[in-house]
Structure 1
Amino acid sequence: MEKGSPSSALQSLLEAIKASDVVEKRIQLLAKLEDLDLREESDSASLVECLATFWEDYTCLDVSQCMLNKTIVHVAVKFASPASSDCLPQFLALSTKASSWCRKHLKMTLMSTQDSQEEEHSQLFFQLLLELLRLSTANILSLTKYPLLSSKESVDIVEKFILELLNLIKDVVPEIKRINSLGSEVLKVAQTSIDALINLCKRYFQIINENLSDARLKDSSVIASEVVSVKDHVLTITKHMVEKLCELGSLAASDGGSLVTILNVSWKGVVTLLQLGKEVITQRVNVQDIIRTLTSLVNGHLKCATEAWSSTQETVSVAESRRTFLPVKFYLLNAAKISSLYPCQACLVYRELMFCILLISTFRISLCYEKNLKNASEVCSELLDKTYLDLLSSILSSAEVNPELKLELLNWLFNDECGAVSEERDPTTYYNIGLMIEIFAVSCEAVPRSSLLLLGRVALFHSLLSHSVGFEEDVKIKITRKLDWFLDVMVNKDIYSYVLTLQIPVVNGTGQKLELNWQSMFSVLLDSIKTFMIVSYSSVAWEEFEDFLVENICHPHFLCREIIMELWCFLVRHAEEEVAKALICKLCIVMKLIADPASLGFPTSLLRKMARAICLLLTNGTASTADHVYSFIADDTGSHSLMVIYSALLLEGFPLNLLPENVRTMAKQKIITDYFGFIESFDESLLPVTSSNAFGTPVIAICASLQSQQVSMSDVDLKTLKFIIKIIQNLKHPKGKSTKECCFMLLNVALEIVSAMKHLYQSDEMEKVVMELHGLFISGPTASDSHLHQCKPHLALFMGGLGDMQMSESDDCAKSTAVWELYHMMLKERHWALVHLAIASFGYFAARTSCNQLWRFVPQNATLSYDVISASEASEERFMSELKAFLEKEVAVLATITASSHQHELLVKEGTVLREMVQKISNTCIEEEVTESDGLGSNVDSQCSKRRKLPDGISRGVELIQNGLKFIGDGLSQWQQNHNVESTELQEKFLTHFSRLEDVVSHLSGLAGSG
């Protein structure tokens, strides 16, 4: 047999194997086949065909059968590489048969007991499995060389082979840990098989393209028919591979990390195959399900992290954080690649995709709130921020997606129903990591109304704005229209509080130059809108952005107003000068529509708000812009409305210093001249008999100019002090309510003017002013007037400068006594705001005065002398301790801002009040202001131009209470003058209750007046 030819030797051995009934003998004979040197392709085909016949296909009952099949596979491996096209079908058939048998045997092996005999059997089977995978890999490599696309029979063999191999790998991979010492080798060969299959598909698609080119060149219907047949075969194979690789990738993902190589090769294979068949793959493969699978893997991974981290107080390390988020990034990257390849298919499942993105955005916000998860928060931002934005951009940036679908997607993400049904929660734990678990139970249908995801939406909106450079014009316009949604959400109490206090990690740069730092969420949001402003500036979206800025410049919510003004200032600082001029002039035109002299005296009126905004913009702009606006509104020969606008701008601190020198000099001179003309002609007979908010405008203008340091102190002389004395003398015997209100308004402004001119405190006239103020607030007939309560903030500002005044400390000095008693009155105030102002004033005074006996200025029953909690008796030591603490807080500068739970609670409460106010104003006042803006005589002061008239009984009753307070105040003054020591304690109690009663009546009077 050895001396014959290889063919004869092969036939002899095959006959002997067939004739043998003993398994062990067959194994020995099969092993001899390895020694043959077969050079004829027909011999190799005969050998493999017989090997398939010798295969024991029934259920394996003992080791010998496994040994027999292992030997068959071992022999086949030797002759399979390389296999020719003639014998390749036989190799594929053998591998298919063996793969099917191994799948059954694997289940039996894993269920078997762990005794020594079964262990030996299992080890033998795993060796057989390893050999089979090597044989299959060799077959795939041969298929790449000889594709076997010539006949239907060969095509069917290839399809069955690939399907059985994929099923076998899918069954083996999840059990890889139970495959003893050969597990790592099996896993490695399985990965090699998958790579080989993907390369095979690449080769198949290359053949299709080549055949299509031949068919076009030769115009042959026969070739075209063959191409269709081959194409169908390739698509069928690709479909099987994509489905099995998705299943394999999902199984590897659930392993916990040990199957990273299989996870990587399977999902990358899916993306590669989808890319190869981009034109036709959707006919066979459900791309939507693949995207859903990837998003579910992301959600599941984040849920596991949430459950693990919510129950730990230990600091999560960077290494653990990377292990958690790297798989999430991998799934997102693949989802983004598939979505960019098939954007229309991705749009059909955009709810699942956007829910996944919202989960990530909300998850990273919840991490920021936990100190022990700081590392996790930074790693999450570093790895996932750009990745999930790439996923979103793959749809929004695609030209294949219908614009209506893009709009629907953005409406779903940022809709008016967001957070409409707000769950009542403890504000300090609203975005706690533990509550994230609840989000995973939210269905896609409920997502638009879930308040738990609201802050995540805001964070996502910031990311979208920051990365909007690559978006098409239609998307930029749609995003611009969502800026109103952003402002509406900022009014929400929870968003309002967290945006102001939360610090979030921000990633800048790319690659090796990546930088990460923590910033206030508020500043980050502002920066993102500024970025979008730059992006939209040269696009068709800019016109809508301009409208957004103009419409919201007087937004009723202060935080939204701050955002809008910051955007305006950014625009004025960096845009072309002509653009800034045109926009500010547009605001002046809007002011022209609402110019009403009656609203000049109300700082909260729409006119004053607009003027305040314009002055701020001019301060941030160029000198020529300020000159241009001044020329527009300062024409005395112009309309009455321009004069009103001019007055409003002066009241809000128009930046005169930016004007050209000659214009600036004339403007300042006019302000001073008007002021002197007013105070010199001031007389009781000139006071208005009816309420007029425009009265005293020159005084308010000089006050605003002094505070902004645009008019020097030397420009105003002692006439101001005489003016104050005139006002106080008129207040002693007012002729009517309107006259008194005008005098109190002028007194407040005059006190502010004097507080800005320190040199006046050293004049002789100042003593008379102090004595007049003492008579007004302490001993005069109007000391109990409720209007004086509203003057106390301005009095505190004035009294702070008394430290520059020379005073005697003797008991018989009337001036010193007056100052003592004025400070006694202020320091006994119980309202928190007045306490703050009084202490600030006293601290400023104490730091500058030459007086040594400061205890004289502090009453024994000063507010800060009491312990509020225990309500104990007054203590001088306690006052000094509180004063020291207050002054230290005033000069303290915090290096970092860390929000406490108490601050969150206060902000949430404040946000609730503000939101109710905004809704009320939005529903009533804005419509009325717009309706009445056509008539220039409309009253557009603080809130609404239409007011309900209160019943006469209420107004009359309030007036009687005010008269009663006056009589009580006169009686208390007489009582104090009697100096009855025995009744001192009773007097103090009376004064305390009387002060509270004054506050209540003052509020009632204000309500009655506003009605």
Structure 2
Amino acid sequence: MEIDGDGGGGAAADAEERGRSELVPLLEAIKTSEVLENRIALINQLEGSSQFCVDDLGPILESLVVCWDDSTCSGLSHCMLHKSVLQVALKCTESDATACLGQFLTLGAKASSWCGKHLIWFVDSIDDSEAVQEEEHNSLCLEIISLTLNISVKLLPMAAKCITVDVVHTTGDFILELLTLTESSLVNKTIHGAAAHVAKAAPVFLDETIKLCRVYCEAAKSDSCRMSMPPEEITVEHEVPDLTSNVTRITTCTIQTLCKIGTYAASSGGSQVALLNVSWKGVVSLLQLGKGSIEVKSYLKNQGAVDLPTSSSGIIGLPVHALASALQRCEIKDYNAIDGKSIATMFKFSFSLINLYRTAPDSSKDQLAQQISSMLDIISKVRNLCAFYQMEKLTLELHTLFMCSSGNPKAALSQCKPSLGCFMSMLGHLNYTEVDANALCSAMLDLYHLLVRERHWALIHLAMSSFGYFAARTSFTQLWRFIPGDAALSYNANTGMDIDENGFMSELKAFLQKEAALRGDKWSREQTRFLVSEGRALKKLVETASEIPLAPEPEKKAVISKDANKKRKIPDGIGEGMTLLQNGLKVMRSALNETDSAELKDRLAAHLSCLENAVSQIVSFSDKI
């Protein structure tokens, strides 16, 4: 028998019509039911029905919002009602719910707010004698929080596609409530088992929130608005419902919550790696979207209290590098938020890293050296909040570290020298006595001798910049003591062998004059012409070096050896030199990016690219040895 092609479609339409005719009275019964248990049963019936069509979502969500009871929890039945409501809402997200996004966000905000209040009520009202009886209640509360987080993961990608003032405003209310709930569940540990339970769902929610913030920030920028992170506490209330203020509100609150969750994860002994990764990476990426106040206090607290076994040094290093990276891009406007306890924790953490470096195996020293370097960058940024005795003790610890290291450990420490130079320059702000017996003065002399002896051109630049800043601010009068006779700039520039006693001071003077010119608002034509000529000379030097032919190796007879297939170890000096080269190129590239001279950028950018290519080739060659 031949089947009519429209028969299947007609049957589906009839089934859909029957389902809708059954849905309408069911929703009405749910809204009008006054017995809590009956309402729960009706909602469960709704959740067990077939998949909802798009046209049904509006009436269903309207009924769910009506059913939500914002009053203080009255017991298990109250929580069971809310669990049933959220299960239906989660099922609704399986369909295209974009048209009902506002209703979803309203329900989600209600759920987050109620859960937060429930956590407080639960802790305050349940004493030890009732703890066993309330285990089921506790479990229900955790399920409701997880359902709310899972629903948010479905909603936030939808919100990223609907960027209007009203939607962003409603989304902000929803996100802020959920961030508060997540933080309360994890950090404040207000309910037994909440942290471990929520930690499973939180990373995905936080990642989606970070993605949404990026989209919103780009939308605000395209709307000809400049992002600005306000230092004051962010509240749910706001006066001007414009796009930029709402985006700023959401992004700032997200950063603050990520900081707190990140410090919690860092202090969990390595058990919350997923939370740690998403929180710290999120902080850095969001801070890079706009300049402004940074939650330094949140970064620094609890890091020094964390146990630092060698095996976990990589985990602890993530927030350290994140903060150091963020501080390079952001201006700290509110130093009052950083208390003495946070600063003490920062120094305690630094001392722990240095002590750990001394006893760690060589395989871990490179990573620890990176963390020490990052901590020196952080301390340099907040040096005006540091006490004299803290800076003195750290200087003495660094002196012992650098002066007593040799071999492979010393090669690993070479990557710390740029950060050491920055830290040393900050010592110019200290007041100290100028006597031979002073341990601090002796340590400073040795460390500056170490820096200015460096003959790599990039480190020469950094050492001169550091010493110039230090010399301009220090109360120390015998500055000649900081310069050893074999300082790099004391050597004859042509021969590289003969030492000129006046060479260092003349080179330092020329260097400082160039630095002053680079910091000027406007460059003269003569200054620009001079820098261009130096760039050409540098290019010529590189080209000449690259054209030097390699001497042919004498023919050797093939010798079969058991070591023939083994890779030869690169000498420490080559690896150290490559690190310095790469650091120097980063400094030059950063300086070029900061200048406003378009002509200088056009002329020098190509030369820098050639240098970077040359360095890459050397690195590639070294890797093949």
Query: Normalising by structure 2, what TM-score?
Result: 0.59
Corresponding position: 1:492 with 2:438 = yes
Equivalent residue for 2:212, pick from 193, 200, 214: 200
Amino acid at match of 1:246: C
- For 1:264-413, what aligned pairs fall within 5 Å after superposition? 264-278=277-291, 282=292, 286-287=293-294, 290-301=295-306, 320-323=309-312, 325-343=313-331, 345=333, 362-363=351-352, 374-375=359-360, 381-390=365-374, 392=376
Provide the secondary structure at the position in 1 that maps to 2:360. helix
Classify 1:103/1:30 alpha carbon distance in 2 versus 1 (closer, same or farther; 3 Å). Answer: same
Give the CA deviation at 1:89: 0.8
Corresponding position: 1:129 with 2:129 = no
Provide the secondary structure at the position in 1 that maps to 2:88. helix
Classify 1:489/1:190 alpha carbon distance in 2 versus 1 (closer, same or farther; 3 Å). Answer: farther
Amino acid at match of 1:387: Q
**Equivalent in the alignment of 2:607:** none
**Distance (whole Å) between structure 2 residues aligned to residue 296 and residue 454 of structure 1:** 22
Equivalent residue for 1:38, pick from 44, 52, 60: 52
Equivalent residue for 1:60, pick from 73, 79, 98: 73
Amino acid at match of 1:193: F
Give the CA deviation at 1:126: 2.3
Equivalent residue for 1:119, pick from 121, 124, 135: 135
Classify 1:351/1:460 alpha carbon distance in 2 versus 1 (closer, same or farther; 3 Å). Answer: farther
Contact map agreement 1:67 1:124 (CA 8 A) in 2: yes
Provide the secondary structure at the position in 1 that maps to 2:107. helix
Contact map agreement 2:150 2:201 (CA 8 A) in 1: yes
Provide the secondary structure at the position in 1 that maps to 2:203. helix
Classify 1:491/1:73 alpha carbon distance in 2 versus 1 (closer, same or farther; 3 Å). Answer: same
**Equivalent in the alignment of 2:86:** 73
**Distance (whole Å) between structure 2 residues aligned to residue 540 and residue 453 of structure 1:** 19
Classify 1:177/1:160 alpha carbon distance in 2 versus 1 (closer, same or farther; 3 Å). Answer: closer
Give the CA deviation at 1:337: 1.6
**Equivalent in the alignment of 1:456:** 397
Contact map agreement 1:80 1:138 (CA 8 A) in 2: yes
Q: Deviations over 1:773-793 (max 9, x none)?
A: xxxxxxxxxxxxxxxxxxxxx
Equivalent residue for 2:386, pick from 424, 444, 447: 444
Q: How many residue pairs get matched?
A: 454
Equivalent residue for 1:530, pick from 437, 441, 453: 453
Classify 1:102/1:489 alpha carbon distance in 2 versus 1 (closer, same or farther; 3 Å). Answer: farther
Provide the secondary structure at the position in 1 that maps to 2:52. coil
**Distance (whole Å) between structure 2 residues aligned to residue 539 and residue 89 of structure 1:** 55
Give the CA deviation at 1:391: 5.7
Provide the secondary structure at the position in 2 that maps to 1:21. coil
Corresponding position: 1:139 with 2:155 = yes
**Distance (whole Å) between structure 2 residues aligned to residue 481 and residue 124 of structure 1:** 57
Classify 1:161/1:261 alpha carbon distance in 2 versus 1 (closer, same or farther; 3 Å). Answer: same
Give the CA deviation at 1:260: 3.2
Give the CA deviation at 1:80: 2.1
**Equivalent in the alignment of 1:25:** 38
**Distance (whole Å) between structure 1 residues aligned to residue 438 and residue 182 of structure 2:** 53
- For 1:809-828, what aligned pairs fall within 5 Å after superposition? none
Contact map agreement 2:119 2:191 (CA 8 A) in 1: no
**Distance (whole Å) between structure 1 residues aligned to residue 157 and residue 140 of structure 2:** 26
Give the CA deviation at 1:109: 4.2
**Equivalent in the alignment of 1:510:** none
Contact map agreement 1:33 1:75 (CA 8 A) in 2: yes
Give the CA deviation at 1:345: 4.7
Amino acid at match of 2:498: A
Structure 2: segments with no counterpart, 5+ residues = 1-13, 226-239, 404-409, 472-477, 505-625
Classify 1:257/1:460 alpha carbon distance in 2 versus 1 (closer, same or farther; 3 Å). Answer: same
**Distance (whole Å) between structure 2 residues aligned to residue 361 and residue 488 of structure 1:** 27
**Equivalent in the alignment of 1:871:** none
Classify 1:30/1:493 alpha carbon distance in 2 versus 1 (closer, same or farther; 3 Å). Answer: closer
- For 1:581-980, what aligned pairs fall within 5 Å after superposition? 582-583=500-501
**Distance (whole Å) between structure 1 residues aligned to residue 269 and residue 244 of structure 2:** 38
Amino acid at match of 1:321: T
Amino acid at match of 2:23: L
Equivalent residue for 1:186, pick from 187, 195, 198: 198
Contact map agreement 1:267 1:334 (CA 8 A) in 2: yes
Equivalent residue for 2:484, pick from 556, 564, 579: 564
**Distance (whole Å) between structure 2 residues aligned to residue 349 and residue 116 of structure 1:** 42
**Equivalent in the alignment of 1:7:** 20
Give the CA deviation at 1:81: 3.5
**Equivalent in the alignment of 2:230:** none
Structure 1: segments with no counterpart, 5+ residues = 214-226, 306-319, 397-405, 413-442, 500-520, 549-554, 587-1011
- For 1:514-529, what aligned pairs fall within 5 Å after superposition? 528-529=451-452
Give the CA deviation at 1:375: 3.0
Provide the secondary structure at the position in 2 that maps to 1:32. helix
Give the CA deviation at 1:125: 2.8
**Distance (whole Å) between structure 2 residues aligned to residue 300 and residue 62 of structure 1:** 39
Q: Deviations over 1:140-185 (max 9, x none)?
A: 22212333x243xx444222211111111112124779655x9755
Amino acid at match of 2:311: R
Q: Deviations over 1:919-954 (max 9, x none)?
A: xxxxxxxxxxxxxxxxxxxxxxxxxxxxxxxxxxxx
**Distance (whole Å) between structure 2 residues aligned to residue 293 and residue 114 of structure 1:** 36
**Equivalent in the alignment of 2:621:** none
Classify 1:174/1:114 alpha carbon distance in 2 versus 1 (closer, same or farther; 3 Å). Answer: farther
Amino acid at match of 1:447: Y
**Distance (whole Å) between structure 1 residues aligned to residue 366 and residue 432 of structure 2:** 25
Amino acid at match of 2:33: S
**Distance (whole Å) between structure 1 residues aligned to residue 426 and residue 143 of structure 2:** 64
Corresponding position: 1:101 with 2:114 = yes
Contact map agreement 2:353 2:372 (CA 8 A) in 1: no
Give the CA deviation at 1:354: 8.7
Q: Deviations over 1:779-814 (max 9, x none)?
A: xxxxxxxxxxxxxxxxxxxxxxxxxxxxxxxxxxxx
Contact map agreement 2:53 2:95 (CA 8 A) in 1: no
Provide the secondary structure at the position in 2 that maps to 1:577. coil
Contact map agreement 2:76 2:137 (CA 8 A) in 1: yes
Give the CA deviation at 1:31: 1.9
Bigger Rg, which one: 1
**Equivalent in the alignment of 1:165:** 178
Give the CA deviation at 1:98: 1.4
Contact map agreement 2:157 2:208 (CA 8 A) in 1: yes
**Distance (whole Å) between structure 2 residues aligned to residue 106 and residue 228 of structure 1:** 31
Classify 1:93/1:381 alpha carbon distance in 2 versus 1 (closer, same or farther; 3 Å). Answer: same
**Distance (whole Å) between structure 2 residues aligned to residue 11 and residue 268 of structure 1:** 47
Q: Deviations over 1:72-125 (max 9, x none)?
A: 110110012344333111111111111122222233445465666422232233
**Distance (whole Å) between structure 1 residues aligned to residue 343 and residue 401 of structure 2:** 10
